[in-house]
Amino acid sequence: MGGIIELKDVTKIYSTKDTPEIIALNKANLTVEEGEFLSVCGVSGSGKSTLLHLIGCLDKPTEGTVSVKGSVTTQMNEKELARMRNGTVSIVLQDFGLIPSRTVYDNLVVPFYFSSNRKGMNDKIKSALEFTGIADLNQRPVTKLSGGQKQRVAIARAIVNDNPILLADEPTGQLDTQTKKQIMELFHKLNEKGKTIIMVTHDIDMAKETSRIVKIADGSIMES
């Protein structure tokens, strides 16, 4: 029986008529078991973020197959992919991906715009804010938040629908040492609650806190 996430011979090539081909991933194979807390390490340009975007249904591979929770996402249309992003897999983006002109609460409402089920929305938002320790920032504009607070908002938004898979792209990259520890504590608590987590990072100290480290170099998975 396969894992909750499976990549088989996945290749991703970026190309335009004006630039040479860039092979971001080259026949990558990876299996992630349900409940794992996995880190993906590699230098800039090694294929880490591409891997995360393919698993997160934000992109499709040039070749190979990606399966998430038993569904082959490479065979899905845009509507089906959107359903996967809303109900199965969430992603915390490297730049937080928040709407700067809106409040913390407004940003957590966003996932519900794409859901047919808004029952209990306010309770879910309150629970996510309390879990991430920012309930008191509910009505604060994003422009008035520190980097650590923005990361907590991004995590709260990612967990508000309680999706079983959480992806994080360099979630501690812009934070000071103390805030890094606090963010990692949140991920460990989420993992203890049963979430499958994949964290992309170049920080080996952060990676060592996870249950398994996968290394990528030049688009190839070197160790897992």
User: Token digits for 188?
Assistant: 């460990």
pLDDT one-digit tens code per residue, 58-117: 999 999 999 999 999 989 999 899 889 989 999 998 889 999 999 999 999 999 887 767
Average pLDDT, the chain: 92
Q: Is the pLDDT of residue 53 over 50?
A: yes
Please enumerate in sequence order all residues whose Cβ is within 8 A of that of 223, keeping only pairs 6 or more positions apart, or say none: 213, 214, 215
The full set of domains in the chain, from first to last, is: 5-223 (3.40.50.300)
- pTM for the structure as a whole: 0.92
